[in-house]
């Protein structure tokens, strides 16, 4: 208790007035209750604040008719029992008849009434997971129907309906049909069995393997609720830098316990498979995918898994990359390795997600080119239940990257998108960076693989390449911090991943609007101000970290803070490899006169980058090494433009601080103060990035920082000597 509260209580006690003490104590309790720690995410279910809207909701929602008794219908009932009393400030009874305001929930197979409503054609279009929310008159009563072809679809429909209420939308005349554009919508947890999280900035792993399977933490259920509410239907529980121990019998029982929690919410569990598991666990002398004994070992292991978890999703595999074992250890291809595992899971309708994140320092070619070079020759050689999981860009989740050239280059192989929700290269846990615009930037990029309009989104959803299975994954930013994601605004990136995986056509500002209203408040002034911060935040970070196409100049290992001066024995882990600054200029020449990585793109896409005079300047130094005096489109020299971008990034963080300070009266103090402090850290880090990078690049340009900008208050040597041996997520 704060000192001020202790002092007041002492004075009240001295007065001896018990009534005053009780009153003050109640006020004190209320002040603590008003504080919010962020645990509820976007499922807070606080009372609808607009009196007129609340009255209309109470008129339209008077009773519930729930048809069915499956585990999924039971969790729907539990969710409504949380939501309606919170939102409407009253309980809503369950009935068997129809009244004005009845919410009719269920599938046509469970409800003859729903079956009789003539919704067949629309339900056919909804598929297995889609839903309808429609206003209907039933037996002369005005009702709302929430239905789908499966209980899972109904669950998604219920969450969509609750989202309408949470964001105070009209429900007077509903006619909503929605179905996911992508089939597999997954979170990839880079969680280790010792509960550390690689690239995790929100504490330890939420999976407590030590107490599983006997102890089922409530957080597991709340995790499933949150994912189902945004349409995520799969969770890869373990790190891509895999540990074979998770495939042992005792750990599979723990995995099965989590699968049992997730199943009613429509979520399948997946695991990462360490390719050398037959050697490490089975004591075989080889893990050669063409070896009969190895193949049988995997078939036996898969049978063991499906006996415990009948709806197990399959494996995600990182192989022959960054020290991970793989088929190339035995002179085999990625297709050989993936197909062996695919054959093992195929009888159970499982899938293999084989990551395309491969590169080697022993290969002399540009790292940008290596995945394309390895995988394109294998197009059409993978089993039908294999997906190649491709990062959004060819390097590694940089603040800005051109889309990966593999998109559109493998028409015979389903390609699955891999985004990074955790902010490994975007300020980590201390920075506000709303990533929906980042995701959309990639998804809306035109590959020209099948003519103009062949966007990355249309490739991964199968509409351009006609893939039989489609998928989008995001590397999770979830930990055991009370608010799940560390930074309060980092929750928006988890939310955005789910919403865009369901419907990549949604606008970034719409997603931000939903999340703010559900997570904080429906106050219009707050939503407008906070949304402006969110929508600008990623661009602000790109400006003060890696402007004009610079990339991978972060501190090595932990990737925290600037370190453009680092030169390691391994070139492709060295920032100097990527910016190539010298007295002549800066940037990586990936044109035909350089590494020719640009040649991996289709001609229509290449044209936006190959001529530096007309190139999209956001990617200029990604593809070109240009002189410091190069004239930019705004008339500045390249050096002056770098100075401008770095300084505008710092100024913009200060704008975010002022914008946030004005919101204090509109939300709870706990989260307001939390974001305020984090923005102060971000401002310091933006200054650090600006000063360190400009001082370093100035050693090559030999040019002055223009007079209108703040000058660094510390030396380059100071920044070069900074060390972070215990940076989180390393």
Q: List the structure tokens of 305.
A: 């898994």
**CA 477/CA 491 separation, integer angstroms:** 8
Q: What percentage of the chain exceeds 70 in pLDDT? A: 95
Q: State pLDDT tens for residues 521-567.
A: 999 999 999 999 999 999 999 999 999 999 999 999 999 999 999 99
Per CATH, the number for 543-588+625-720 is: 3.90.1330.10
Cα dist. 677→4, 8, 39, 52, 127 in Å? 22, 28, 19, 36, 46
pLDDT, mean over the chain = 95
Angle at 95 between CA 90 and CA 100, to 5 degrees: 75
* Strand arrangement of the beta sheet that strand 141-147 belongs to: 63-66, 102-105, 141-147, 131-138, 175-178
DSSP state of 449: B
pLDDT of residue 7: 47
Hey, where are the domains in the chain? 3-34, 51-178, 185-519, 543-588+625-720
Residue 227 has pLDDT above 90, yes or no: yes
Q: State pLDDT tens for residues 332-381.
A: 999 999 999 999 999 999 999 999 999 999 999 999 999 999 999 999 99
8 Å CB contact between 237 and 473: no
pLDDT of residue 377: 98
Q: Which band of pLDDT confidence, cut at 50, 70 and 90, is reported for residue 14?
A: low
Q: State pLDDT tens for residues 604-663.
A: 999 999 999 999 999 999 999 999 999 999 999 999 999 999 999 999 999 999 999 999
Q: Which band of pLDDT confidence, cut at 50, 70 and 90, is reported for residue 330?
A: very high
**Residue 647 CB: number of other CB atoms within 10 A?**
21
**CA 619/CA 545 separation, integer angstroms:** 14
Cα dist. 116→136, 145, 206 in Å? 12, 12, 45
Q: State pLDDT tens for residues 102-126.
A: 999 999 999 999 999 999 999 999 9
pLDDT of residue 179: 98
Residue 717 has pLDDT above 90, yes or no: yes
What is the second-level CATH architecture of the domain 51-178? 2-Layer Sandwich (3.30)
Residue 422 has pLDDT above 60, yes or no: yes
In CATH terms, the fold of domain 185-519 is TIM Barrel (3.20.20)
8 Å CB contact between 436 and 512: yes
Concatenating the DSSP letter of every residue in 147-171 gives E-SSHHHHHHHHHHHHHHHHTT---
**CA 228/CA 602 separation, integer angstroms:** 37
Q: Which band of pLDDT confidence, cut at 50, 70 and 90, is reported for residue 729?
A: confident
Cα-Cα-Cα-Cα dihedral sign, residues 231, 232, 234, 237: negative
Q: State pLDDT tens for residues 288-297.
A: 999 999 999 9
Q: Any idea which residues carry the catalytic annotation?
A: 322, 396, 424
Cα dist. 68→81, 104, 108, 152, 255 in Å? 16, 11, 11, 12, 28
Residue 8 has pLDDT above 90, yes or no: no
> Look-up: residue for tokens 């999703």?
313
| Three-state DSSP class for residue 286 | coil
Q: State pLDDT tens for residues 370-392.
A: 999 999 999 999 999 999 999 99
Written in H, E and C, the secondary structure of 416-437 is EEEEECCCCCCCHHHCCCCCHH
Fold match between domain 51-178 and domain 185-519: no
> Look-up: residue for tokens 């920044």?
719
Residue 170 has pLDDT above 70, yes or no: yes
**Residue 492 CB: number of other CB atoms within 10 A?**
28
Q: State pLDDT tens for residues 573-602.
A: 999 999 999 999 999 999 999 999 999 999
pTM: 0.95
Q: State pLDDT tens for residues 65-75.
A: 999 999 999 99
């Amino acid at each position: 208790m704060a000192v001020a509260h202790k002092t007041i209580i002492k004075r009240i006690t001295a007065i001896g007035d018990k009534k005053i003490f009780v009153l003050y104590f109640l006020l004190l309790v209320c002040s603590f209750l008003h504080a919010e720690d962020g645990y509820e995410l976007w499922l807070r279910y606080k009372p609808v604040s607009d009196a007129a809207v609340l009255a209309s909701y109470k008129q339209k929602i008077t009773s519930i008719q729930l048809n069915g008794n499956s585990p999924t219908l039971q969790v729907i009932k539990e969710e409504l029992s949380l939501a309606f009393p919170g939102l409407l400030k009253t309980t809503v009874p369950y009935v068997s008849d129809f009244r004005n305001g009845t919410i009719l929930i269920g599938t046509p197979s469970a409800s003859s009434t729903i079956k009789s409503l003539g919704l067949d054609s629309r339900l056919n279009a909804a598929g297995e997971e889609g839903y309808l929310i429609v206003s209907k008159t039933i037996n002369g009563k005005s009702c709302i129907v929430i239905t789908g072809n499966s209980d899972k679809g109904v669950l998604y429909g219920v969450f969509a309906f609750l989202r309408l209420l949470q964001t105070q939308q009209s429900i007077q005349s509903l006619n909503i049909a929605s179905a996911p554009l992508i089939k597999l919508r997954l979170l990839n947890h880079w969680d280790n069995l010792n509960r550390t999280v690689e690239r995790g900035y929100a504490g330890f792993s939420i999976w407590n393997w030590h107490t599983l399977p006997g102890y089922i933490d409530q957080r597991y259920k709340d995790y499933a609720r949150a994912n189902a509410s945004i349409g995520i239907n799969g969770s890869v529980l373990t790190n891509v830098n895999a540990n074979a121990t998770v495939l042992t019998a005792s750990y599979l029982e723990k995995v099965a316990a989590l699968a049992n929690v997730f199943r009613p919410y429509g979520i399948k569990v997946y695991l990462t498979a360490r390719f050398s598991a037959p050697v490490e666990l089975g004591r075989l002398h080889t893990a050669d995918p063409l070896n009969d004994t190895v193949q049988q070992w995997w078939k036996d292991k898969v049978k063991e898994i499906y006996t415990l978890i009948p709806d197990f999703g399959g494996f995600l595999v990182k192989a022959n990359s960054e020290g991970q074992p793989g088929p190339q250890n035995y002179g085999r291809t990625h297709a050989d390795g993936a197909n062996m595992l695919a054959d093992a899971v195929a009888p159970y309708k499982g899938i293999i997600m084989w990551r395309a994140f491969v590169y080697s320092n022993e290969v002399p070619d540009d790292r940008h080119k290596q995945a394309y070079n390895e995988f394109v020759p294998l197009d059409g050689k993978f089993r039908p239940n294999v997906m190649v999981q491709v990062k959004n860009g060819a390097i590694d989740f940089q603040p800005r990257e051109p889309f990966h050239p593999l998109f559109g280059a493998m028409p015979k192989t389903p390609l699955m998108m891999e985004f990074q929700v955790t902010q490994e290269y975007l300020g980590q846990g201390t920075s506000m960076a709303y990533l929906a615009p980042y995701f959309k930037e990639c998804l809306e990029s035109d590959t020209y693989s099948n003519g103009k309009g062949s966007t990355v989104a249309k490739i991964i959803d199968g509409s351009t390449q006609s893939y039989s299975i489609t998928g989008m994954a995001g590397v999770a930013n979830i930990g055991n911090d009370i608010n799940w994601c560390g930074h309060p605004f980092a929750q928006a990136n988890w939310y955005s991943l789910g919403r865009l995986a369901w419907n990549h056509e949604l606008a970034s500002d719409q997603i931000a609007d939903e999340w703010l209203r559900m997570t904080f408040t429906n106050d219009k002034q707050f939503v407008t101000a906070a949304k402006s911060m969110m929508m600008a935040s990623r661009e602000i970070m790109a400006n003060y970290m890696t402007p004009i196409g610079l990339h991978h100049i972060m501190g090595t290992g932990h990737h925290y803070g600037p370190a453009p001066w680092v030169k390691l024995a391994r070139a492709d882990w060295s920032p100097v490899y990527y910016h190539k600054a010298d007295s002549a200029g800066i940037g990586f020449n990936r044109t035909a006169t350089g590494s020719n990585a640009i040649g991996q793109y289709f001609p229509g896409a290449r044209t936006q980058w190959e001529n530096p005079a007309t190139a999209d300047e956001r990617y200029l130094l990604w593809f070109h090494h240009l002189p410091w005096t190069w004239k930019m489109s705004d008339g500045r020299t390249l050096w002056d433009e770098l100075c401008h971008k770095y300084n505008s990034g710092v100024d913009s963080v200060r704008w975010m601080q002022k914008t946030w300070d004005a919101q204090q009266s509109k939300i709870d103090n706990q989260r307001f103060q939390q974001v305020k402090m984090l923005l102060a850290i971000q401002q310091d880090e933006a200054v650090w990035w600006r000063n360190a990078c400009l001082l370093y690049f100035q050693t090559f340009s030999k040019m002055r920082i223009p007079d209108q900008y703040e000058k660094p208050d510390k030396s380059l040597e100071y920044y070069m000597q900074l060390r972070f041996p215990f940076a989180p997520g390393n």
